[in-house]
Amino acid sequence: MRDVRKLTLMILAPIAAGWAIPAQAQTEFSGAGETSEIHCDGGSVQVEGADNTLVIHGPCKSLSVAGASNRITIALDAQSAIRVEGADNEIRWSAPGKARPKLSVTGAGNRVSRQP
């Protein structure tokens, strides 16, 4: 009986510990020609579409953009990443202090810059 309790505890303890760890939010936006505000609450944001104007309140861990002619302003965490695929996207970011995001930008005419 003692071994059964021990085995049960060994199986359930990691599961219970996993439940205690809050999951990071994953926010997805898909659209065309829309204007919107998004709250990422410390998580990640995925944007797909074209001609959108988005303001993303953070701090955010990461931003992933796939599309064209999106205008995005985002507040980032100190350790963050931005990935852009497509054309003519404009990403303006802010981060605490001198922090800078890891960048991955592919496509023509994309612009990623720190917001003054």
Please list the pLDDT of the chain residue by residue as tens digits (116 residues).
Answer: 555 455 444 444 444 444 443 445 679 999 999 999 999 989 999 999 999 999 999 999 999 999 999 999 999 999 999 999 999 999 999 999 999 999 999 999 999 999 98
Q: Tell me the domain boundaries of the chain.
A: 24-114
Compute the distance between CA of residue 61 and CA of residue 80 in angstroms, rounded to an integer.
Answer: 5
pTM: 0.79
Compute the distance between CA of residue 58 and CA of residue 70 in angstroms, rounded to an integer.
Answer: 18
Q: What count of other Cβ atoms lies within 10 Å of the Cβ of residue 38?
A: 18
Map residue 28 onto helix, strand or coil: strand
String of b and e for 52-85 (b: at least 16 CB within 10 Å)?
Answer: bebebebbbbbbbbbbbbbbbbbbbbeebbbbbb
